Every structure is written in structure tokens, then in C-alpha cells.
Amino acid sequence: MDSPLKPSPTPFTKKSKLAKTFQRVIHLNKSTKPLSKNTAFCLQLAPHETKPRPNCFNNTSNSNHDDDGDGEPNSARNRAAAAAFVAKLFAAVSAVKAAYADLQTAQFPYDGGAIQSADEAVVTELRSLSELKQAFFKKRIYSSPPHVTFLLAEIQEQQSLIKMYEVTMRKMRSELDSKESKCSILRKQLDDVVSHNKSVEKKLDYSGQFSILDDIVKLFDAGPGGFTAALRYAVRSVRCFVKVMIREMESSNWDISAAANAVVSKVVFSKGSHRCFAFESFVCREMFDGFDSHDFSLPNEPKDEKRRGFDFGDRFKELKAVNPVRFLKTNPDSGFGNFVRSKYMRLVHPKMETSFSGNLSQRKMINAGEWPETHFFAAFAEMAKRVWLLHCLAFSGDQEVDMFQVRRNCRFSEVYMESVNDDAFAAGEGGDGDVRVAFTVVPGFKIGKAVIQAQVYLLPAVRPDRC
């Protein structure tokens, strides 16, 4: 009895399934073969379009040359359409940026009308950008003719860039105007503060001078300490004038080091700031020259060495409470006027004055008995006033007055000298170094038996040789 057998799949069935699979693969490869050989920008057609267009725009020159009826290759036309669409897209983005920048500018400072106009422009440009987005999704990127669309998009983009530059310029101009306004306000406030400070300083200076000079007179009556205080008072004005003179030198592009070396030669200053001592030495040497004579060795003063002390006391009281320039204007031929004129001609060289002011008009005014109201001359007149008062104070008593200078290379003596640069002692060990004088800054005085030390600038100490 034959046993029942299950039907097995025939070779024909297996072969038909394999053939179908192979045919599908072959068909797929054929459809994708052009994509593997060429670089392309592919677009799919919308289902409702009746006239099919190429879906791949190759960049190679050997692409398909099928025409659509007007004689232009499809690939070239599609590339032009894509370029025009991209140009429109960039132009739309630039327009949005320009409109938004205009909106930001309208907010600071707040301008309601400008904000509303700029907001409408932003909305309009965003709507145009949205329309381009929808056109891309619906595959409606073609424009006729593409090259005109491309040029118009380029023009629109350049206009948007120009608008952004204009907005930026307006913003920067507004900020500049605001800062200039603030600067002008601050400048006016600074001028007011400086003017107020000058008036207060002038009041304090005059009131301080009265109290200082009154105290000096009391101290002088009690002993030589009053002359020392008056000398320090005068030296402060010398240093103020030297600062003014150095500022004028710097403004006139002088070589300060060369000028200092011309005053005191062959001196190496341990610090750059010490060069001012050279100019103080020069000013003191000229201003105190003739101090130990009754008439200050002035050319037009009467040679009466027996002048009584109360005359100098009267001169002191006459000048101590007034502004020196005002006093000179009302008393141009006084002894003090003769003193100022003589000292100015000796101290301020014509070349120096020409360098500072560009002419010699100030010198001619002083020589003719007129007195300028410049800052430079005001500082000089104040210094001359204090030196004059010191001279009056010194000769108001019956004691003999002598002035002395210390020569270069003299050994330093603590009895007769005071150092203005204590760092000169640093080179010596234990203070036993040989310290020498470079030059005298402020001269010393002998009032009767009392000695007022001279202020000197010292050379570096030399260490003694040791075995």
C-alpha cells in the first residue's frame, strides 16, 4: 500500500520567486544609477502637475539635453531657477534683519510712531519669508525670467545692508551726541568746582598768610626761630615757582636733564625727581643774591646802610596783607617794585621767556613799569614777596645778618648744613663714609650768633678703605 506523500515545492516555484526578487533589485538599481554618477539638486514633482519636469539638476556638462520646447536645456533652466530662489531667500533674510534693527533703534529712545512703523515692516518681511517657505514646500520655485529675479534679489539685499548701516550710524551718532552732552555737563561741573576751589584756596591762602606771618613776627621777637620759620615760608614759594617753571619747560619741549646739567654741571642725580633741586639752587641763588645788604644790592635803591629798623618793620606790615601783583600796580616805583623788576630780569632769561610765551612782551611790560597778570608772573611775584618780607624781617632788628653758600666738594657738616637727599649716606658704613657737597640748594644764614643751616645736595658717600 502506497504511503501518502506530502507535495514538495517544485523547483519552478522557487525559481519564480527568486526571479521576481532579482527583477525588483535590477529595477531599483536602474532607477538610482544616475544619482550615483552625478552630483545633483533633486526636486520631486507635485502630484497635480501634468507636465513632468526633470527631478535632478546635474552640475556636469554632459547632462541630458532634452528640450521643453523653447530651445533651452532643462538642466540649465532649473539651475537658474534654483539660483534665483536662493538669492530671493537671502534677500528676504537681510530684509528681516534690517527691519528688526530699525525696530530696536526706535525703542531707545522710545518713539511710538517709529516703533509701529518698524513693527509693520518686520511683519511684512516675515510674511514674505513665509511665502518663500511655502513655495519651496510646494515645489514652486520657478520664476520667469530667472536672471531678472536674481538681479532684483541682489539689489534688495544690498538695499537691506545699506539700511542696516544707516541704522547703525544713527545709533552710534545718538550715542555720540549723548556722550558729548554728558562730557559738556561734566566739563562745566569741573570748571565750577575748579573755580570754587580757587576762590576757597585764595581765601585760605590769604588768611593762612596772615596767621603765619603774625606767628613768625612773634617767634622772631622771641629768638631766631622766627627767622627759620620765615625762611621755610619763603622756600615753599620758591619750590612752587620752580614747579611752574618746570611745567613751562616741559610744555616747550625742553630737555630737563640738559637744563639741570647746565645749572649744576657734573652731578649725577640718584633719582630723576632730584633734578628739581638744581633749579631750586639756581632760583635761590638769584633771589637771595645781595640779601645780607640793607638795600639788597639793588641798582636804584638809596645807599643808606644806617636805615633804621622801624623802616623795615613798616615795609613788612605794608606788604604782608596784600596781593603782590595788586600792590605792584598801585605802587610801581616802590622799593618792592624795583626789587621784583631787577630779580625778574636776572632770573628769567630772554630766551627762556621767548620759549615759554613766544615773545618778549611780558619782559617789556615789566621793564616799562607795568605788571602782567599771567600765572607765571603771579607765582614769581608771590615768591619775590616772601623773600622781600624775609629780608625786612631780618633787618628789622639790630643784629648783624650774614648769608653763606657751601662750595662744591666741601665736607658735610651737621652744624652748618642740612641734606635734602639723605640717600647719599647709604653708601657709607655706620655713618663713617666721606660725604661731600655737590651744590647748595638754599643758602645758610647767621643772625647774630645764631646759625640757620644751609640746605645742600650731597654726592654719594665714599666708603673708607679697610685693611
**Mean local confidence (pLDDT), 353-375:** 90
pLDDT of residue 238: 95
Higher pLDDT, 24 or 296: 296
What pLDDT is stored for residue 5 in this prediction?
Answer: 43
Which band of pLDDT confidence, cut at 50, 70 and 90, is reported for residue 203? Answer: low
Average pLDDT over residues 206-224: 55
Condensed to tens digits (0 to 9), the pLDDT of residues 132-191 reads 777 787 777 766 677 777 777 778 778 878 877 887 887 788 888 889 889 999 999 988
Task: Give the HSE-up count for residue 274: Cα atoms under 13 Å, Cβ half-sphere.
Answer: 19
60 or 189, which is more confident: 189
Mean pLDDT in residue range 379-389: 93
More confident residue, 162 or 263: 263
Q: At residue 12, does pLDDT exceed 60?
A: no
DSSP code string of 59-95: -STTS---B-SSS-BHHHHHHHHHHHHHHHHHHHHHH
Q: Which pLDDT does position 393 carry in this prediction?
A: 85
